Amino acid sequence: MHIFLKTPFLVKCQKCAKLILPHRVCPLCGYYKGVEVIDVFKKLTKKEKKRKEKELKESKGIKKEKPLNMEELSKR
């Protein structure tokens, strides 16, 4: 019983907030440390580009939350 699988350590991409392995280029947006390394839209068809852009918008919406002020905190 000494052989077992470990869960991988994942970090959030700074650009799209997708969970990826550390020190790797994000396969969804193509960014590494805030710099575009790979143009992920370059070789895609129009249909694939639309789908990829939709995924990026959805992931950005999850990442950004409006900060609460003191009045909103007291309401909750």
pLDDT of residue 9: 92
Domains: count for the chain: 1
DSSP character for 28? T
**Residue 37: inside a domain, yes or no?**
yes
**Angle at the Cα of 27 (from 46 to 31), degrees rounded to 5?**
100
Residue 70 in any domain: the answer is no
Give the pair of three-digit tokens for residue 28.
């969804």
> Would residue 20 count as lying in a domain?
yes
What pLDDT score does 60 carry?
66
Residue 4 placed within a domain: no
Tokens standing for 33? 């440390």
Task: Write down the pLDDT at residue 62.
Answer: 54
76 within domain boundaries? no
Domain that holds residue 42: 11-63
Residues of the chain short of pLDDT 70, as ranges, are 60-66, 75-76
Is residue 15 included in any domain, yes or no? yes
Domain-embedded: residue 19? yes
Q: What is the pLDDT of residue 46?
A: 85
Confirm whether pTM is higher than 0.85. no
State residue 66's pLDDT score. 66
